[in-house]
Amino acid sequence: MDEIHKNILQRNRSNLVKDLDPSKLYDGLLEKGIFTQDMIDEIQSAGTRRNQARQLVQDLETRGSRAFPLFLQCLQETGQESLAELLQNGAPAVTLQPATPTQVVRPVIQPLPFTPGGGKPGPGRGYKMDASPCGYCLIINNMEFEPHSMLKNRKGSNIDCEKLERRFKTLNFVVEVRTNLRQKQIKHELLTLSKKDHSQYDCCVVIMLSHGTEVNHNRFPGAVYGVDGQYVPVQHITNYLNGQHCPSLQGKPKLFFIQACGGDERDMGFEVSPDEVEPSSGGMDDQTDAIPMSSSSDSLSMSDEPDARPTLPTPSDILVSYSTFPGYVSWRETQSGSWYVQTLDCILEENAATVDLVTMLMMVNNEVSQNSAKGLYKQMPGSFNFLRKLLYFRTQT
């Protein structure tokens, strides 16, 4: 940061600490690339609003020449114009220079082959999935929640966990299960996974079984709760393994399966003709994994400066499969597990040897959509797909 802008921040530090609301700024600071997600997490860990404001201003001085004018923009965009005006008094006019555009050589796009009746694609058209083992699969299963969290225990989640542990072992993954983790422990496990050497593997899988909620987002909606009642946004979960933060997984598929609610709305469905749907209903013990929408806003971190080297987009090779449409509850039977996991396990068992993952997830969507909880409520799974190729699991013969 330019010395004159550092001096302005230092002169106005007391006013910034007194009046600044950092929670409103985090999303914009991430979007504009002023801070990374790790830096935001460190600021938030400072505790009180005043302490977070003090840490934010201190860290801001260490950023690049664009940090000060972009910080002013964030203040204006979040209704903190009075602080922006305070900082602009006596400051020279600043014009943001756009990043120098680089010549982009666009590849020739070739459509993926369509093979009637299934069949795996030829060399180069699908992800390499023949490493043995194929990769790591981390399952985080939160069943018993601390009393102060005000969250109910998730009966039946152990059934989901056991099914998925067996399934991904048969798909040639090294499966690690972690149970009843707090928010910081979830982050620690994800960070540990990101620091592993994946260079000999072809894929990585993360499965989250917990309560969930809806949060504001840029790419991947929703958040997953720790047993302490503190949540981790899904887009932060994916961020640990993206090409920027886990280099040994660059260009390799990262798969996330989220069995948690995306919100607290209950879908009552709509009428269709009798031949469009097969009757199916859940039991009276159906429960949801819903928590009302949070006001927190989070985003994927961005690098401090544009990267002119040939790269893939940050979220490339990521697929996030959700048990329910964002904003809606996800149903779980206490005796047999969740609709989504039951169906996913069956579809993988019957089709993984011959059918690609995205097609199998559409099959899951179709089957789950035909269930009814208490004879009334519906559920619609879905996914955010940033895979670049077809993905076929390697099944054990």
The three-state secondary structure class of 371 is coil
CA distance linking residue 77 with residue 165, whole number of Å: 46
CA distance linking residue 341 with residue 331, whole number of Å: 10
| Residue carrying structure tokens 């921040």 | 9
Structural domain 3-88, CATH architecture: Orthogonal Bundle (1.10)
Which residue from 255, 259, 147, 139 is spatially nearest to 201, judged by alpha carbons? 255
Give residue 207's identity as a one-letter amino acid code.
Answer: I
* Structure-token pair, residue 1: 């940061």
Q: Are 248 and 312 in contact (CB under 8 A)?
A: no
Position 202 scores a pLDDT of 97
Q: Are 352 and 360 in contact (CB under 8 A)?
A: yes
Residue 166 CB contacts under 8 Å (≥ 6 apart), including other chains: none
Position 206 scores a pLDDT of 98
With a threshold of 0.75, does the pTM exceed it?
no
Position 34 scores a pLDDT of 87
| Residue carrying structure tokens 């961020």 | 239
Position 267 scores a pLDDT of 36
Position 28 scores a pLDDT of 87
Eight-state DSSP code of residue 265:
B
Dihedral angle at the C-alpha atoms of 73, 238, 232, 67, nearest 10 degrees?
-20
Termini Cα distance of the chain: 60
Position 138 scores a pLDDT of 98
Alpha helices (H) along the chain: 3-11, 13-19, 26-31, 37-44, 49-60, 67-77, 81-88, 157-170, 183-195, 234-239, 339-351, 357-369
Q: How far is CA 281 from the centre of its chain?
A: 30
Position 91 scores a pLDDT of 59
CA atoms within 13 A of residue 286's CA, in its CB half-sphere: 20
The domain limits of the chain are 3-88, 135-385
Strands 254-259 and 203-209: parallel
Which residue from 161, 144, 294 is spatially nearest to 223, judged by alpha carbons? 294
Residues of the chain where predicted confidence (pLDDT) is lower than 50: 96, 99-104, 117, 262-281, 284, 290-311, 373-374
- Distances, alpha carbon 319 to alpha carbons 249, 256, 279, 287, 361, in Å: 14, 6, 30, 26, 11
Q: Are 338 and 324 in contact (CB under 8 A)?
A: no
Eight-state DSSP code of residue 260:
S
| Residue carrying structure tokens 């790790």 | 38
Position 136 scores a pLDDT of 98
Q: Decide whether 3-88 matches 135-385 in CATH topology.
A: no
For the domain made up of 135-385, the CATH class stated in words is alpha beta
Q: Which residues are catalytic?
A: 211, 261
CA distance linking residue 361 with residue 353, whole number of Å: 14
